[in-house]
Amino acid sequence: MKAVVFDSSIDVPVGYEFKVPVFMLPLNVYVDGKEYRDKVNITEEEFYSQAILGKEVRTSLPNFSETVELLTKLSKEYDHIYIVTISSKLSGTWNMIRLVLQQFDIKNATLIDSKSGSVKSFYVVHRLINDILNEIEISEDIFRKYIEESLLLFTVTSLDYLEKGGRIGKAKALLGKLLRIKPILSTDTDGQVHSTGSARSMKHVIEIIAEQAKKFADFEKYVVVGGYGLKQMKEHLDRLLSFFPAGSLVGISRIGPAVSAHVGPEVFGLVIGKA
């Protein structure tokens, strides 16, 4: 039997039914220096409320001892384990797990760098599970397809978090604030965050995201996963999702603390990918 492990930066749609055994490794989240285990002892709403008040928020890697304990245990209980992480260009989680597998000689594990985060990383998990259930041989080429055959597009209403995290420069952030520009962002196949466009009105942002997503999805069948932070972002997401057939929607995720700490709680977007 096979199992799947993923870190808590991967935002799973509400009510999504896993059909193989899955396990989550929580990242650590800090609010004004107080440590929490992401999605374990702090909820999305609790985190958003603190972030909006201007409290200092940051993240760190999953607990090393917990990671060793979980992966060692699973390697004995399952024939093979697949571990999916946030992009190695955005976090040291992938590298830490790589070292754990080496140091503790865990042979029956495959580590997958999703080259993204949040709902796109979930899409990678979704595709992986489908291939496991269909008894498809999982290879490097297969992983690459998960990433290349999907596109993450999202926007934020505040550039402060991206500026603090070094994702955009101070000059670009200042110009964006002065002009009230909303960026449209993605992750490339190397796992880096980059801009695909911008607009001043939310209506225009939504139209651009929908247009870029549909242009990318040149597949016979595609699926969509939506994600949002604060509750008021859900209205924007619903308008965005209305551009796509209802049958293509896998589900809607809340953007968790580990991701919100770096993009802010005022965020929404989607991943579109091959079905």
Residue-by-residue DSSP string for 115-128? SS-HHHHHHHHHHH
Tokens of 16: 């999504």
Dihedral sign from CA coordinates of 233, 209, 249, 192: negative
Strand pairing class (193-199; 222-228): unpaired
* 258 vs 60: CA distance, rounded Å: 9
- CATH architecture of the domain covering 150-274: 2-Layer Sandwich (3.30)
Q: How many CB atoms are closer than 10 A to CB 176?
A: 18
- pLDDT, residue 168, reads 56
Q: Kindly state the tokens that stand for 191.
A: 């796992």
* Cβ proximity of 271 and 120 under 8 Å: yes
pTM of the model: 0.94
Q: Where are the domains of the chain?
A: 2-145, 150-274
The token pair at 127 is 């595709």
Handedness of CA 52, 58, 59, 63 (dihedral sign): negative
Q: Tokens standing for 200?
A: 């001043």
Q: Are 184 and 197 in contact (CB under 8 A)?
A: yes
Q: Which residue has the tokens 């790589």?
A: 98
Q: So what's the pLDDT on residue 159?
A: 77
Task: Write down the architecture of domain 2-145 according to CATH.
Answer: 3-Layer(aba) Sandwich (3.40)
The DSSP bridge partners found for residue 154 are 185, 269
How many angstroms separate the first and last alpha carbons of the chain? 24
Coil/strand/helix, residue 179: helix
Residue 160 and residue 107: Cα distance in Å, rounded?
Answer: 42
Which tokens is 74 given?
A: 């699973």
pLDDT in tens, the chain (275 residues): 999 999 999 999 999 999 999 999 999 999 999 999 999 999 999 999 999 899 999 999 999 999 999 999 999 999 999 999 999 999 999 999 999 999 999 999 999 999 999 999 999 999 999 999 999 999 999 999 999 999 999 999 887 777 675 555 543 544 455 457 898 999 998 998 888 999 999 999 999 999 999 999 999 999 999 999 999 999 999 999 999 999 999 999 999 999 999 999 999 999 999 99
Contact between 6 and 83 under an 8 Å Cβ cutoff? The reply is yes
pLDDT recorded at residue 171? 39
